[in-house]
Structure 1
Amino acid sequence: MKKALIITLLASFATNAQIREKGEMEISPFIGISSANYYGDVSIMNESVSNPYFGANIDLYLNNRWSLKTGLEYQSMGSQGESYTFEYFEENLNFISVPIHANYHFSKNRKWYLNFGPTINFLTDAKSNTFNIKEGVTPVQMGLGLGIGYKIFINERFSIGIDHQEYIGFSNNLKSKYNNDLFIGNIFGSFSVKAVFKISSTQTNND
C-alpha cells in the first residue's frame, strides 16, 4: 500500500513538474538538419539543398499554456540544379534568424507544443558555387515560421525536445535593382534535437 502511494505521488510530481507557470523561462540549445529551396519565378530544374541547422531558443512563459519563443538560429537556405546553360549550380544563402513566435503548450502534461509567428533573417553570406553573390541578395528578410515539437521529461529542470520547423519567406531574395520584376523566395524545413533547461522562475515555494 505504501509503495503504491509513493509511486502515485512521484508520478503526480513528474506530471506537474513539466507544467511551467507565468514568469518561468527555458533556454533550448539545439542541433539538427534542414532542407531548403526556392519558390516563385523559378523556371530552371532545381532541387532542395540540405545543411546543418543549429542555435538556441528562449521561451518566456506567459501562463501554463502560452510562451513567447525567440532566440538566435543559423539557417542556410538556397537551391541547386542545372542552369539555363546546363551547368550545375549550388547556391547557399546563410542567415542568422530571430523567431518571434507564440508557442502553445498542450496535452495534459504540456509535452507537446505548437509555435507560429514572424521570423526575421539577417544575411551573413551568399554564394553560388564559389562565387560571392551577397551583393545581389536582400540582406534583411522576413517570413512566417510554424513548428511542432515534443518534450521528453528527464527531471524538473531538464527535458529533451524533438522539434520540426517550417518557414516560408515573404521577401524577395533578389534586390529590387536586380530582380526584373521576378520574385524568388525561400522555403525551409528542419528536424532537430533540443536540450531544454529551465533557468529561472518567479514562483516561490511555500512548502
Structure 2
Amino acid sequence: MKKIFTIILLFTSFFSFSQSRDKGTIELSPVIGYSQSMVFIFTSEPVGGINIGSNVDYYFNENWSFRSGLFYQTMGSKEVKFLIFSDEYSEKLKYLTIPLAINWHFGSNKNWNLNYGVSGGFLLDAKAKSEDGITIDTKDISNSFQFGINAGIGYKLTLTENIGLVFDVSQFIGFTDTNKEKSRKNFYTSFNFGGVFKL
C-alpha cells in the first residue's frame, strides 16, 4: 500500500509541474472541439458542429497574456420559432474567426486561464434547409462579416516545461446580424481539447 501511495504521489507531482512563463513567451495551442450554436437564445434549437483551430498567447508576465488565433467554426441554428409565429428552418454558417482577448492565468501553478475579448468572423459558406428538406445557398443574403464578444475558461495539464494538454470552454455572442434581411445574431459555445507548446 505504501508503494502504491508513493507512485500516486510521484505521478501527481509530475503532472502538477509548474510552467514558468516570462515576458515575451509565446504559446501555441491547437485545439479541436464540439460546438453548439443558435440565433436566438430562447426561441431556437442549437446546431452542432466542429471547432478547429489554434490559439496563440503572448505573455506579458506569468499572470497575463494577449491571446489571438485562427478558427474554423460552424454557427447557425437547427430550428427557429418566434412566439406564435413559426419560421422553421435549419441554417449552417461557416466562419473563419480571429479572436483578440486578454488572458488571465491563475491558480497555484497558473494552470487555469480566463479570457475575455472580441472576435471577428469571415463568412466562408452559408446553407439553409427548409421544412420540406430543400437546401439552398444563402451566402448572397448573409453578411460576410460578423463581430462580437468572446469569453472562455480553460485548464492546462502540464507534461513538461514546454508541452502540455489543454481543456477549455469558449463562448461567442454576436453583435452583428448574420442575415441582411432579418435580425439574427449568433450565440455560440464550444468544448475543446488540444495541446500547448511553448515556442
TM bucket (normalised to shorter chain) is 0.7 to 0.9
Match of 2:173 among 168, 183, 196: 168
Counterparts of 1:110-121 in structure 2, within 5 Å, are 110-121=110-121
SS for the counterpart of 2:186 is strand
Q: Give the greater-gyration-radius structure (CA).
A: 1
Q: What is the percentage of aligned positions where both structures have the same residue? A: 35
Quote the residue 1:52 is aligned against: 50
SS in 1 for 2:62: coil
Matched with 2:187 is 187
Shift, 1:87, TM fit: 8.8
Aligned to 1:81: 79
Q: TM-score, normalised by structure 1?
A: 0.80
Q: What is the letter of the counterpart of residue 197 of structure 2?
A: F
Residue 6 (structure 2) aligns with: none
User: For residues 87 and 118 of structure 1, do their structure 2 counterparts lie closer, same or farther at Cα, with a shift above 3 Å needed?
Assistant: closer
Gaps of 5+ in 2: 1-8, 130-134
The answer on 1:135 being equivalent to 2:135 is no
Post-superposition offset of 1:163: 0.6
d(CA) in 2 for partners of 1:122, 1:77: 12
Find runs of 4+ consecutive structure 1 residues off by over 2 angstroms.
Answer: 81-89
Counterpart residue type for residue 153 of structure 1: T
Q: TM-score normalised to the size of structure 2? A: 0.84
Residue of structure 2 in register with 1:67 after alignment: 65
Shift of residue 114, structure 1, vs aligned partner = 0.3
Change (3 A) 1:132 1:83: farther
1:80 deviates by 1.5
2:4 maps to none
Q: State how far apart, in whole Å, the 2-side matches of 1:147 and 1:164 are.
A: 5
Structure 2 residue identity aligned to 1:35: Q
Aligned AA (2:123):
L
Aligned length: 182
Give the deviation of 1:88 after TM superposition.
Answer: 5.9
SS at match of 2:140: helix
Contact 2:177-2:184 at 8 Å conserved across structures: yes
Partner amino acid, structure 2, of 1:192? N
Alignment pair present for 1:147 and 2:152: yes
Unaligned runs of 5+ in 1: 1-6, 200-207
The one-character-per-residue Cα deviations of 1:126-182 (angstroms, maximum 9, x if unpaired) are 00022100111111110000000000010011000001001100001122xx23xxx
Q: Structure 1 residue 75: deviation in Å?
A: 1.1
